[in-house]
Structure 1
Amino acid sequence: MLDLMCWKGNDMSDKIWVNNTETKYPEELLNGRLNAECNVIGLIFNDPLILDEINLTTQDFLSIDGRFYFGVARQLKKLGINDFSEVAILSNLDQKVLDQFNLRGGYQAIYNIVSLISVKNKDSILDSITKYNTFIKLYECGFNLLSPMEIGNRTVVPLEFFKGLDSNSILEWYEVQLSKMGTGYDVKLLEDSDVEITDEFIDSLSAGDEQGVSYGCAGEDVEGNPMSVFPFLSNQTLGFVRSASHYIAGFSSVGKTAMMCSIVLALVNNGEKVLIICNEQSSKTWKINFLVFVLYKHFRYMSITKSDLMAGKLNDEDRKMLRAAQDYFNEKFGGMIHFIQMAENDMNVVKSKIRFYALQHGYSTVVYDTFKISDTNKRDRSVASWDELVQASRDLDRYAKKYDLIMLCSIQIAQSFKGVLFLDSSMLSGAKGIVEQLDTLLCVRDVYKEELDPDSKFYCNPFQYIKNDSTGKWEEKEYLCDPQLSWKMVFLTKSRNSENSSSSQSALMFRFMGQFAVFQEKCWCRPKHGYIQ
């Protein structure tokens, strides 16, 4: 416990709480709260940059001193001060505020708190105040916090039970309880019925209801032609099925994000509302990809590349076309894509955001870039990293089924497999066990120059299927890939709706125009099994 002498009011009043808090809320809800608020203030004065990371407001503090010190911290931060030293505080507060500061013990009082706080405990300190505020909001909404009830196999007071949980887990617990009320619904069951082939089921098959959402086309260009994304691949997998997980795996910098960007636009074109959660790239990267894709695919304008945009190398015509692309994107895709960038990779936060945006805002597709283990300070050290990935993939798939989502994730292939020619699920970084949950797994890699050389032992034999007009049958015809271009090889590692690459011994080949974030489906190939230096 911290020394809270400076939190027992000033010499003008012995009040601790604001606005008759003691009469408004039961004593049990306030027990320990003063210490939580004190810890947060100590944390902020220890590291003022935390104010840029949190969404706390004055109303999140119920103690008089808590609100005062938070207001002081926010005022100093607005002045651009990032080191709350005694000199900085005394030099930048107006006299009225400074008088109140001195009445509370001056700098020594706040120093006594700061000296006992470690920034390493930031997450638990911030979660503590969030938890206490959650208690207040639940109480105000009429939820039972104080009367004993059955939880598991024992009778406990909910408030005492919740003190052992973090703030996200508390909300999840209530959500599970609410989902069971009045419907006889068991959260573990998605279906519970006799198996009978009904007329309605046959009609749904005839209507194509069992097919997933297509990611083959993102709309039409200025001439009315389709803006192709991955039409053939989408047909192969029957689109992305709802209530299922679909992963794109590849080595670092292979183009997974660019691939995701074009898929997002195709999904929005088919009515999906897409939530993007990213722990690596910022929204700027995605916006640039969206813009160059629209410029190339919709307007057929090729004078602006990604590097031009990033370097600001634009002439008057370029700026005009960029405005046109902006207007088109906002009109067609605006309001249908929401982006979240995470400073730290924390699966609890990911699940919380998915639940919130699915339930509150009707988002139907989640794109998670990149799926990986939690950051070091977020990890449970008692759990192996591969086991954590498997559990996280199960959690995401459970959310996909629970909220009827398309769950689309990118994941890294371990760098130790760089050079292996035929990709499969055993190469996923950390955990091949995640494949069990997946409906679709696509593995992507660069095509090596040797694979495009007919005289090389690594030649991948590119071919297209061409329909023979006389026989009406589809026949293989050799396709020559220009080795001067950039090529990607896509393995259909797992698909519940089509033959996979391991069975067919084939893969798709895409031409990749990275400067426009555009892929073009060109042909099939038969990659060798082996390793290339």
Structure 2
Amino acid sequence: MAKETTQDIAIREAKILNKEAKITESYFAGLMWSNPFDNYAVYGDTISQDEFVHSIWGFYFDLGRRMYEDGIKSFDDISVVTKVKEYGLDDEFESHGGFEPIDDAVSIVKEHSDNIEAYYEKIKKTYTMKQLYLLFGDKVFVNKDKYDWKRMNRDQLAMFWNDKLNQISLSNVNRYEAENLYIDGDEFIKKLEEDSSDMLPYYKSTLLNSISTGVPRGHVTMIGGFGGTGKSSITAEKYVMSCIANQEKMIVVLNEEDAQAFRQKIVLSILWNEFGGEYIDRKRMVNGKLKEEDKLKIKKAFAKLNELINGNESLIKVIFMEKYVISDLEKIVRFWANRGYHNLLIDTHKVSDESKHDKRWETFVEDMKTIYRMTRKNAGGMNLRTVVTFQLADGAIRNRYLDYEAIGEGKASKNEASIMYMFRTAWSDEYEGEKNELECYKLVKNKKTGEWDKKAFKLQKGKTYYLWFTPKNRFGHTNDNGQAVMVIEPMFHVNHFKEIGWCQVANDKSRRAA
């Protein structure tokens, strides 16, 4: 017996799909006619007649849509006949069998309205397969490796073949999703638990995690700081080390330093956090004048790194973009996201080197919109955990209280972020004994009551502190509605950012640096 060819498989599967489509489309059209007032309101504008494989059911669907738009709420015989004549569709209506086919469909499915979404998705998937077949031929029906078209939904199919073609830009497809506000209580709880499980906690960061519970998937987190204050170093420890510790695939996109410079930060973080406070003189790493004991520590750090990633050397990909062009960035991210890399760090986001706008801020905002579209979990997005670092405006260095005014290029970019953090160095007059001395506190658990008590402390002279602001937070409070400002002690020599406690900074725009 001759081996079945790709064409044979495609013909066989297409026949099966065509047969199933006939049933699905009749059921869907029947449900639309059985309750036109509700169903056409939901699906009337989201599917078209040419998406039906069988013209008869596309005809009945479109006829029903036109009657619904004309205000017909119930498709009785008289109303239908009147409208068919008005539309000049008498011959086509009779050629399809008149009332009989649609009446039969309505009688079969009118008690099963809950299935309409499933029928809708099957029609959409069948149409997707039809279009893919026109583009790629028989191979779309042949399962191979991880590709199984029967198990994949229409979005997964489009993403798979988009990756092959690398031409179709899903981010330009405008979609929306409608859900009932009411759902079953158990389903609501399940969704909460699923969303919580998608949170990636920041690495060994109790206080930072208490603000947002971690890095959310499907959302953009923006972290702003002034030039040279360590945005890369902070994200290396808090975010990249978390992906390493949790064995989460990640791509790190750099445009200011290369992979080797970034590795230095990770080595220092591993030595300090995983080996009880070991460290190497960072200057010797930079100038290459390592001692033998330094080399041993570095080897130990990489052995630990290999252990943490469970031997998966490709777990974290570091990509250096010599030219930061947003269209190139999107291609890179989509390529790796299609291979399971769902954590993204962009360090640093800035105005694209190939701006299409006259004003720099317009480019910054539009590029952030692109990053959001890539990140979101629906409407063509890739459901990423995205952290973006950016530089605060130079003029904001005089601002005691950091909020949206401190954004340098394009304040409207804040709309694309679900969480926004900003940090600055503590000012000299905020230290102990100075005129604007900060009242800081730690939360210490009371052994007797079990409650958390506030233990006051002051910023000590001779030390450097960062104040970590939260201007936006869809997963908790912001500074404007109760979230305290976090106090961090940066330890650059070991790439560690020690969380000290909390403080309140007055939101007084008149209190700026002289």
TM-score (norm 1): 0.61
**Counterparts of 1:274 and 1:233, CA distance in 2:** 20
Match of 1:174 in 2: 168
Give 1:465 deviation, angstroms. Answer: 2.1
- The correspondence of residues 485-504 of structure 1 with structure 2, limited to 5 A, is 485-504=463-482
**Are residue 532 (structure 1) and residue 508 (structure 2) matched?**
no
Match of 1:425 in 2: 404
Give 1:505 deviation, angstroms. Answer: 6.8
Please give the secondary structure, in 1, of the residue aligned with 2:196.
coil
Q: 1:306-326 deviations in whole A, cap 9, x for unaligned?
A: 222112343322221211111
**Are residue 314 (structure 1) and residue 290 (structure 2) matched?**
yes
Change (3 A) 1:321 1:515: same
- Contact (CA 8 Å) 1:459, 1:527: kept in 2 or not? no
Q: 1:359-407 deviations in whole A, cap 9, x for unaligned?
A: 1x210011111111112xx122x44221211111111111111101011
Q: Which amino acid aligns with 2:187?
A: F
Give 1:286 deviation, angstroms. Answer: 0.7
Please give the secondary structure, in 2, of the residue aligned with 1:520.
strand
**Counterparts of 1:295 and 1:172, CA distance in 2:** 41
* Pick aligned residue for 2:332 from 353, 371, 374: 353
**Counterparts of 1:256 and 1:364, CA distance in 2:** 21
* Pick aligned residue for 1:278 from 205, 229, 254: 254
Please give the secondary structure, in 2, of the residue aligned with 1:344.
coil
Q: 1:246-271 deviations in whole A, cap 9, x for unaligned?
A: 01001001111001101211133224
Give 1:278 deviation, angstroms. Answer: 1.1
- Contact (CA 8 Å) 1:492, 1:501: kept in 2 or not? yes
- Contact (CA 8 Å) 1:249, 1:413: kept in 2 or not? yes
Match of 1:438 in 2: 417
Please give the secondary structure, in 2, of the residue aligned with 1:476.
strand
* Pick aligned residue for 2:352 from 353, 367, 374: 374
Match of 2:199 in 1: 213
Please give the secondary structure, in 2, of the residue aligned with 1:325.
helix
- Is there any run of 5+ residues in structure 2 with no aligned partner, and where? 1-132, 137-161
Match of 1:94 in 2: none
* Pick aligned residue for 1:398 from 373, 376, 384: 373
Q: Which amino acid aligns with 1:412?
A: Q
**Are residue 484 (structure 1) and residue 459 (structure 2) matched?**
no
Please give the secondary structure, in 1, of the residue aligned with 2:331.
helix
Change (3 A) 1:190 1:265: farther
**Counterparts of 1:527 and 1:199, CA distance in 2:** 40
**Counterparts of 2:217 and 2:279, CA distance in 1:** 38
Q: Which amino acid aligns with 1:531?
A: R
- Contact (CA 8 Å) 1:250, 1:413: kept in 2 or not? yes
Give 1:275 deviation, angstroms. Answer: 0.6
- Contact (CA 8 Å) 1:204, 1:210: kept in 2 or not? no
Q: Which amino acid aligns with 1:467?
A: K
Q: 1:54-95 deviations in whole A, cap 9, x for unaligned?
A: xxxxxxxxxxxxxxxxxxxxxxxxxxxxxxxxxxxxxxxxxx
- Contact (CA 8 Å) 1:292, 1:305: kept in 2 or not? no
* Pick aligned residue for 1:251 from 203, 214, 226: 226
Match of 1:192 in 2: 178
Please give the secondary structure, in 2, of the residue aligned with 1:289.
helix
- Contact (CA 8 Å) 1:373, 1:385: kept in 2 or not? yes
Give 1:190 deviation, angstroms. Answer: 5.7
Greater CA drift, 295-304 or 406-415: 295-304
**Counterparts of 1:190 and 1:243, CA distance in 2:** 16
* Pick aligned residue for 2:490 from 504, 512, 530: 512
Greater CA drift, 494-503 or 399-408: 494-503
Match of 1:264 in 2: 240
Match of 1:411 in 2: 390
Please give the secondary structure, in 2, of the residue aligned with 1:210.
helix
Please give the secondary structure, in 2, of the residue aligned with 1:295.
helix
Please give the secondary structure, in 2, of the residue aligned with 1:355.
helix
Over the matched positions of the two proteins, sequence identity in percent amounts to 21
Match of 1:72 in 2: none
- The correspondence of residues 26-41 of structure 1 with structure 2, limited to 5 A, is none
TM-score (norm 2): 0.63
**Counterparts of 2:241 and 2:163, CA distance in 1:** 34
- The correspondence of residues 288-299 of structure 1 with structure 2, limited to 5 A, is 288-299=264-275
- Contact (CA 8 Å) 1:213, 1:267: kept in 2 or not? no
Give 1:143 deviation, angstroms. Answer: 4.2
Please give the secondary structure, in 1, of the residue aligned with 2:248.
coil
* Pick aligned residue for 1:204 from 178, 183, 190: 190
Q: 1:424-475 deviations in whole A, cap 9, x for unaligned?
A: 012111111111121110101111232112x322212111123344554433
Greater CA drift, 520-529 or 361-370: 520-529
Match of 2:102 in 1: none
Match of 2:206 in 1: 231
**Are residue 447 (structure 1) and residue 440 (structure 2) matched?**
no
**Counterparts of 2:134 and 2:270, CA distance in 1:** 50
**Counterparts of 2:250 and 2:441, CA distance in 1:** 35
**Counterparts of 1:296 and 1:362, CA distance in 2:** 30
Give 1:171 deviation, angstroms. Answer: 6.0
**Counterparts of 2:308 and 2:232, CA distance in 1:** 21
What is the count of residue pairs matched by the alignment? 347
Please give the secondary structure, in 2, of the residue aligned with 1:371.
coil
Change (3 A) 1:170 1:435: farther
Change (3 A) 1:447 1:383: same
Q: Relative CO higher for 1 or 2, CA cutoff 8 Å, sep ≥ 6?
A: 2
Please give the secondary structure, in 2, of the residue aligned with 1:417.
helix
Change (3 A) 1:311 1:278: same
Q: 1:2-57 deviations in whole A, cap 9, x for unaligned?
A: xxxxxxxxxxxxxxxxxxxxxxxxxxxxxxxxxxxxxxxxxxxxxxxxxxxxxxxx
Please give the secondary structure, in 1, of the residue aligned with 2:499.
strand
Change (3 A) 1:418 1:196: same
- Contact (CA 8 Å) 1:246, 1:440: kept in 2 or not? yes
Please give the secondary structure, in 1, of the residue aligned with 2:348.
strand
RMSD after superposition: 2.7
Greater CA drift, 383-392 or 517-526: 383-392
Match of 2:499 in 1: 521
